[in-house]
Amino acid sequence: MADFQFTLHPITAHPIFWAILFGLVALWALLRFLIIPIQRKRRILQSVAYCPSLLLPVLPKDKDVAIFSPSRRLKFFGYRVNIQQLTCSCSRFRRLRGFYPQNDIRRLCRHLRKELIATNLFNEFDELTRALILFRLRDSCYIREMVLNSEAIFGFHPRTSIVRVYTFRKNSDDPPQGPFTGPVDKFTYHLRQEIWIYGTPPPNCEAILTLIAEIMTACKAKYPKPQRLSTMREELLEPIPVHPDSNEALQIREKRRKATQTTTPLR
């Protein structure tokens, strides 16, 4: 039987190769476990100032115990959940939701929601809060307001065009201005297209649209201003007038020509 001898490739046998490989692995670990988590935590803590939310009632002290919540995908694997302190050992809670303030509804990961629903503590929340938890928490900001005679919760982000409205549907015997006694439902409004998507508008939709405009205006005023483009970049974005042979069009073309010499071209 022939003898087989394992030999390294000349590149892998060089010590510089292993030094570069070790450096890349160390750089990846630094980004993955230190720099990115610190930046994510800083952004979330800064967002508390301009992104309001809802606070859940403090649960009894006797519920301050660790609960095993099994994983959906991995058999015999699970997470440690504390529904009184709203903590979980899952990666999403450690990377994102755990940075929000205590009792903030945005702390509820999948496992916390599951354990709250499985216990009688979930029934101690009001109907609107229970519906919001059941519909899942997908937004960064939440505001609870009275719309005429009915309550509504608005979920949104100051930088996007989607606003989710959680409110009661109207029953046939309800007064036109509310209060409404139907089930809580989710309604989605697109600000730029100015339409209700995924279904019919909610009751009192005109009053709700007025309140949406006020809420978004107030939150956008607090939202950090995006970094402005450099002067040369702004000149690249300046549109050319309708008449291409005018003096104004020639001046803009000259600005663009100079800007392309000092900045990378726009894509």
Q: Let me know if residue 47 belongs to a domain.
A: no
- Written as tens digits, the pLDDT of the chain (267 aa) is 555 555 556 666 667 877 888 889 988 888 877 777 777 778 777 777 778 899 998 888 888 999 999 887 777 788 999 999 999 999 889 888 998 998 999 999 999 999 998 888 888 899 999 999 999 898 989 999 999 889 999 999 888 899 999 999 999 899 988 899 999 999 999 998 889 998 789 998 999 999 999 999 888 888 776 555 444 444 445 454 545 566 776 776 676 566 555 444 433
**Domain's final residue, options 92, 125, 158:** 125
Q: Let me know if residue 192 belongs to a domain.
A: yes
Distances (CA, A) of 56 to 102, 134, 225: 9, 14, 30
CB 52 within 8 A of CB 143: yes
Range(s) of the domain holding residue 91: 61-125
Residue-wise pLDDT for 179-212, tens only, equals: 999 999 999 999 988 899 987 899 989 999 999 9
Residue-wise pLDDT for 201-255, tens only, equals: 999 899 999 999 999 988 888 877 655 544 444 444 545 454 556 677 677 667 6
213 with 238, same domain: the answer is no
Q: Let me know if residue 18 belongs to a domain.
A: no
190 with 237, same domain: the answer is no
239 with 206, same domain: the answer is no
215 with 243, same domain: the answer is no
Q: Let me know if residue 31 belongs to a domain.
A: no
For residues 248 and 180, what is the distance between their CA atoms, to the nearest angstrom? 59
83 with 105, same domain: the answer is yes
Q: Let me know if residue 32 belongs to a domain.
A: no
218 with 180, same domain: the answer is yes
- Look at residues 133, 125, 175, 131 and name the one whose alpha carbon lies nearest to residue 150: 175
Number of domains in the chain: 3
Q: Let me know if residue 30 belongs to a domain.
A: no
